[in-house]
Structure 1
Amino acid sequence: MATGWCDSLQNYLVSLGERLAVFWNKFITAVRKSFGADQVPLLMLPKRIDDAMVQFYTLAKGEIYNANLPEISGKACFASLGWLLTVTSDQGELKFNMLHPSNHHAQIQLPGLLRCPLENIWKFALSSNPRSTLDYIVMFQTATTLGFCRPGLGGQGWKHLGFEAHNIIRDLTHYQGSFYVVDQSGRVSVVCEIDDPKRAHLSVVAPEIPSKEQLLGPKKGIKQLYLVESAGSLLVVLCTSYHNQYESTIGCRVFKVPFSNGNSWSDSEVKDLGNRALFLSNSSSSFSIEGSGNSGCKPNCIYFLNSKRVSPFVDLDVGIFNMEDGTINRDFSNSFNTGFEEIRESHLWIQPSF
């Protein structure tokens, strides 16, 4: 009797999992056909660490979809090029896996890492989509260190590149064959000679901001810095706030790097993104797409997620900054930022990469 009941329960759970997978794949297919694969970013909503059922919000339809991803339960999540990186700590060792939300059964196991607390991992970036090549690099960022490996080519563990302790890394991205970082002073550097880990080093391509007050105005500071590619150019975005109000972003400034021909920060400022929209997040790689009515994304706007954690005790710093008039729309999140009564992980932008 007990055995039969267990078998029935197991069959039911398998069937339920299969139906959820079919639903998710149908949703992805419908999105692709309706709007084009390169025009539909998804937003993974904040989850509790032990959640297996997660929610995705699509800007195209303004709707929330549930997906069963048991592979991410009990793990911290990050995102790059549409892939999720999961990290968990097991007896002092960090364990990493990658999976794609549209086919989460196909996982890529990455090397483990000793003597690195889970909370030290801030972000990760991919050089290429693992679906298209085996020659790709996975890089993660801590406050002062970069770690990278080549899992597709049988790499032998993580290699490390140190950073000056007093210059905290604020963001990481991959652009035209190289990894770039920006530190808290605004200095942008490129990772050189990564093919030889013993010779890998950073080379500055944009100097630190000489005077934040002169560049940003009185009583304004930098809350967060992001690196993002848009229309073939590498941009650094400064999310600004008042010195006494760091929980709320009040504006964004955009600059093109690397600097050339002796240009300064003010010389390199970008005032208009054209028909592009930027998507920025603390825990996922930033990206840009063409804004259009079909995609649900507004052109010449910056969609930012500046909260590292979701908490009922702290206001969410989420909004859409309009480059044309300098306004911030915070109402767009009303349809999905509800019911978070405990501390959760941050939102994740999922870049289209079907």
Structure 2
Amino acid sequence: MSKSWQSVYSMENPPLSPTCPRLLLAEEKEQKCHTRVFYNLFDDEFYNFKLPELAGKICIGTSFGWLLSVGADFQMNLFHPLSKHQLSLPPHPYVWEGYNRNFELDPIDCSDIFLYKCVLSRNPWNSVTHGYDRDCIIMVIHTNYETLAFTRPGYKAWIDIKCDSRNFYDITFYKDKFYAVNNHGDVFVCHIEDDIAFAERIAIYKETEDYIHEDESEDENPYVTLGFTVLKLECSTEVKNKNEYEWVNVDSLGDQALFVGGNSSVSLSASSFNGCKANCIYFIDDNFDFFLATLNGGGYDMGVFSMEDGNIKQHYRGESLSYFAPPVWYI
């Protein structure tokens, strides 16, 4: 069933978080009316929303109901599709100086724009002042070196976060601090004081196990997710008034459900959403480096992984593929 949100939300409404996680499907080819489709996994409903603001743009899921959009002109915006609020951000910190802005680019030309994750410290809209809040920190993993940078509403540039590591895979905001994980599983905490920022390593992960299987067949897409290993970061000891942490294996998520992919990863209470499966991981395709090697782009490697029996099932039964903007979680 398909519904429209136009009668529910308008520009006069404040930018609030959605009532439950939804899947923003890829932009359809030859789409003339700029309608984007949101899918609610838990009630099997489709919601159509006219969003010309996202036409031909890369979209990255963040939180609080906001999306990060990047156009062919490399302009970056935080966009709230339910209220139509849009916050302009500084131009992309890596590609802005490296490209000539005087020629037109097809969206697929921007598929290597080197922007992987975006996380917000809070909702950038202040419901008291009815304006954008400079206390909000917007952090991204960017460039082909996958380094960290941040900005705030009203800033004119991105600020690099100094660190002795790169190749970051994920970032999150937890208890007033940003944390980042690199491709080795090492964890860093980000210290931000005004416009000075650095990341400090607090945990090292010594083992790796790859659950992404690459298929050498020319007739198949080159990768598929086989499973997940879940780890929890725990404080192990305190040395010289400084906590040391270690990774601990997790066998069950209990009532929690994880939502992961090319967006801000979150853990939610499954019992809060009718139809959401507890002790499961809902994942979407975020293997950006291989999108151009697939038959029709990224978006086919999606599903629900059960921590209990290790099985993977589909959460979206249709096909939603794109080389530059595959489905993202809208949370």
Does TM-score exceed 0.5, indicating one fold? yes
Distance change >3 Å, CA 264–CA 146, structure 1 → 2? closer
Separation in 2, partners of 1:126, 1:249: 28
Task: Note if 1:295 corresponds to 2:274.
Answer: yes
Q: Report matched runs for 1:127-142 at 5 Å.
A: 127-132=121-126, 134=133, 135-142=135-142
Among candidates 35, 39, 55, match of residue 73 of structure 1:
55
Q: Alpha carbons of 1:114 and 1:49: their partners in 2 closer, same or farther (altered >3 Å)?
A: farther
Any conservation in 2 of the 1:127–1:136 contact (CA below 8 Å)? yes
Asked if the contact 2:214/2:224 (under 8 Å) is kept, the reply is no
1:109 aligns with 2:88: yes
Distance 1:242-1:69 versus aligned 2 partners, 3 A rule: closer
Q: List 4+ stretches of structure 1 deviating above 4 A.
A: 48-51, 162-165, 242-246
Larger radius of gyration: 1
- Which residue of 2 is the match for residue 337 of structure 1? 319
Q: Give the match's secondary structure for 1:292.
A: helix
Tell me, which stretches of 5 or more residues in structure 1 are unaligned? 1-18, 222-239
Listed as ranges, the gaps of 5+ residues in structure 2 are: 97-109, 128-132, 217-221, 238-243
1:320 is matched with 304
Moved more, 73-82 or 286-295: 286-295
Q: Is 1:254 the equivalent of 2:230?
A: yes
Question: Shift of residue 156 of structure 1?
Answer: 4.1
Show the counterpart of 2:24. 44
Alignment of 1:69-218 (within 5 A): 69-81=51-63, 82-90=65-73, 94-104=74-84, 106-113=85-92, 115-116=94-95, 119-132=113-126, 134=133, 135-142=135-142, 143-151=145-153, 154-164=154-164, 167-192=166-191, 194-198=192-196, 200-207=197-204, 209-212=205-208, 216=209
Q: Residue 251 of structure 1 aligns to a residue in which SS?
A: coil
1:145 and 1:259 map into 2 onto residues whose CA distance is 26
Q: Kindly provide the CA deviation profile for residues 220-248 of structure 1, in whole angstroms up to 9, marking residues without a partner as x.
A: x2xxxxxxxxxxxxxxxxxx234768711
Closer/same/farther in 2, CA of residues 313 and 60 from structure 1, 3 Å limit:
closer
Q: Does 2:244 align with 1:275? A: no
With the length of structure 1 as denominator, give the TM-score of the two structures: 0.71
CA distance in 2, matches of 1:21, 1:271: 39
Identify if the C-alpha distance between structure 1 residues 196 and 250 changes in structure 2 by more than 3 Å, giving closer, same or farther. Answer: same
Offset, 1:258: 4.9
Which one-letter code corresponds to 1:195 in the other structure?
A: E
Q: How many angstroms does 1:344 deviate by?
A: 5.0
The alpha carbon displacement at 1:22 in A equals: 2.9
Q: Identify the structure with the greater helix proportion.
A: 1
CA apart distance, 1:38 = 7.5
Cα separation, 1, equivalents of 2:29 and 2:158: 25
**What is the CA–CA distance in structure 2 between the aligned matches of 1:116 and 1:295, rounded to whole Å?**
43
Root mean square deviation, CA, Å:
3.1
In 1, Cα distance between equivalents of 2:255 and 2:4 = 36
SS of the aligned residue for 2:53 comes to helix
Partner of 2:107: none
**TM-score under structure 2 normalisation?**
0.75
Deviation at 1:78, TM superposition (A): 1.0
